[in-house]
Structure 1
Amino acid sequence: MVAPAAPARAAVIGSPIGHSKSPQLHAAAYRALGIECPYTAIDVAEAGLDAFVAGVRSTTGWRGLSVTMPLKAAMARLVDATTEPAAVLGVVNTVVVDHAGGPARLTGHNTDVAGVANALAAAGVRRPRGPVVLGGGGTAAAAVAGLARLGAPAVRVAVRRPDAAADLLRIGTALGIDVVLLPWPDAAEAVRAADVVISTLPPRAADPLAVDLAADACFRTQGTLLDVAYDPWPSTLADAWQHAGGTIVPGLDMLLHQAVEQVRLFFPDVPQDRGAVLEVMCDAVGAVRR
């Protein structure tokens, strides 16, 4: 007698995780696609990640994990294999779990790159010439890769500790985009001259920079800002940028575009129309599809 297959399940993990909109996005997509799969938010701190992953390996039914901060780099060391661009970045935000044919196999992906590139492209960005990234962590690595995908020849990355972000230089070389690290005091000047700015900073961390820009009555821009911190929204930085004439792209747009890719990876056996999935996800969180 063959045992029934375990019910499918998926989750987003990180800490803190209560603010995550991923459960709403995935639930909407699963309903539209006729997929029966609970998708939950699980608070997992970095110290508990090894034990959590071991539990996933030993429990049938898992289809995948969405991985958020602070776990993206640590997860890259725990999976069995990584695909591009996750392998180059050393950062994983998506894990596909395969229990078929024996012990569970975990494959790490990075859909943040597609999220950055597709969100900016939907806002009309084409081949950025002078982009700036704020922050030097795992999401910054995805931002650099997303800009490379859009054809940017170079990017300046403003960080508080350039020595801690040195791996971005390696990533730039691997992806064919010139990365220049800037000390944080130079961030405001770089942002003023940029045609595209991607802030990968935590919520409110860019507020002092925003105050500086807002106080500059001469600052005007036609550039585009993607602020990945979508709660609260609009951010202080987004307000300052829009007031100066620029275009703002909510971090929620990036989240939507990367989530579409996650659903495809979790359920490759289910036919999916990318546009239709994006539409129901937008509806679920009240976002306007660009």
Structure 2
Amino acid sequence: MSDGKRAAVLGSPIAHSLSPVLHRAAYAELGLTDWTYDRFEVDEEGIGPFLSGLGEDWAGLSLTMPLKRAVIPFLHEVSETAAAVEAVNTVVFTDDGRRLGDNTDIPGMVAALRERGVERVERAAILGAGATASSALAALSRICTGEVTAYVRSEARAAEMRGWGARLGVPVRTADWSDAQQALSAPLVIATTPAGTTDALAPAVPEHPGTLFDVLYDPWPTPLAAAWSDRGASVVGGLDLLVHQAVLQVEQMTGCSPAPLAAMRKAGESALTQ
């Protein structure tokens, strides 16, 4: 048993979030029967007031778009990992009322890849240049020994990715999205784009591709992921990322380690099939 605590996921839109399913499954498995985990629709303007209204019974928060950067001014401390990409997806409340920000997406990506046997790659390609792409770059800074090529739609995005690369110590080359087919020959391809964006690339998957990490989980599989699997190659999906980053959140918020990865994944898979 435990002294009941509260946690939640915040963002906008938030109705689709699988986080409550994953965290509640963890609480059940860990015997934290009086812990609760909810979801709240909160935008950039609402994050400050929301935080100031929380009581001592709160353990932590998961954050999704558009709050990962907006929350930073309201935190007492931000981890090196989160500061590297200016994105916080986890807030933990200490007993003395401090708010600590972290980013579990980055180690979550590394863990999801490691689970599929990808410990080290010589080069990689990233499709897209949004917030998830910067987290992907940070993850690659830990496992990629060579160049990362980012395929983007604008020079502004390209400059941004090169800037992230410089900050993270990753050599980044940028290429225009019209050449995105070339990405598919990299030993590791990380697709960070919205649903439908990579569909046209599916017929161009090479005969012997490397590993694909597609951060989407609904709908799943994406046409690109399906084509990759048809080649018999390794695919890491968005649910893998979601579960691994949530495992780290549960451990930080509850102090219980290890969090029940298998139970959380099973709950996520069950929710997606319904």
Corresponding position: 1:19 with 2:16: yes
2:124–2:144 contact (8 Å) kept in structure 1: no
> In structure 2, what is the Cα distance between the partners aligned to 1:86 and 1:181?
23
How far has the Cα of 1:165 moved from its partner? 5.2
> In structure 2, what is the Cα distance between the partners aligned to 1:91 and 1:166?
18
Out of 98, 103, 112, the residue aligned to residue 110 of structure 1 is 103
Q: Deviations over 1:79-136 (max 9, x none)?
A: 22101211111111111122x33xx321110000111111111111131122111121
> In structure 2, what is the Cα distance between the partners aligned to 1:121 and 1:6?
35
Which residue pairs with 1:124 in the alignment? Answer: 117
Q: Deviations over 1:127-176 (max 9, x none)?
A: 11221111212211111111121243321111222314534334323332
Residue aligned with 2:10, SS = strand
Residue aligned with 2:74, SS = coil
> In structure 2, what is the Cα distance between the partners aligned to 1:260 and 1:47?
29
How far has the Cα of 1:39 moved from its partner? 0.4
| Count of residues paired in the alignment | 268
2:184–2:209 contact (8 Å) kept in structure 1: no
> In structure 1, what is the Cα distance between the partners aligned to 2:263 and 2:236?
19
Aligned residue identity for 2:121: P
Which residue pairs with 1:202 in the alignment? Answer: 194
TM-score when scaled to structure 2?
0.89
How far has the Cα of 1:61 moved from its partner? 1.3
Which residue pairs with 1:51 in the alignment? Answer: 49
The answer to which of 112-121 and 41-50 deviates more is: 41-50
Q: Deviations over 1:211-242 (max 9, x none)?
A: 2441x4x8323311111110111112212222
> In structure 2, what is the Cα distance between the partners aligned to 1:90 and 1:220?
38
Pick closer, same or farther for the CA change 1:166–1:7 going to 2, 3 Å.
Answer: farther
Residue aligned with 2:132, SS = helix
The answer to which of 239-248 and 110-119 deviates more is: 239-248
Which residue pairs with 2:61 in the alignment? Answer: 65
* Percent of aligned pairs with the same amino acid: 41
* RMSD between superposed Cα atoms in Å: 2.2
> In structure 2, what is the Cα distance between the partners aligned to 1:164 and 1:48?
28
How far has the Cα of 1:244 moved from its partner? 3.9
Listed as ranges, the gaps of 5+ residues in structure 2 are none
Listed as ranges, the gaps of 5+ residues in structure 1 are none
1:128–1:196 contact (8 Å) kept in structure 2: yes
Which residue pairs with 1:273 in the alignment? Answer: 258
Aligned residue identity for 1:31: A
Aligned residue identity for 2:93: V
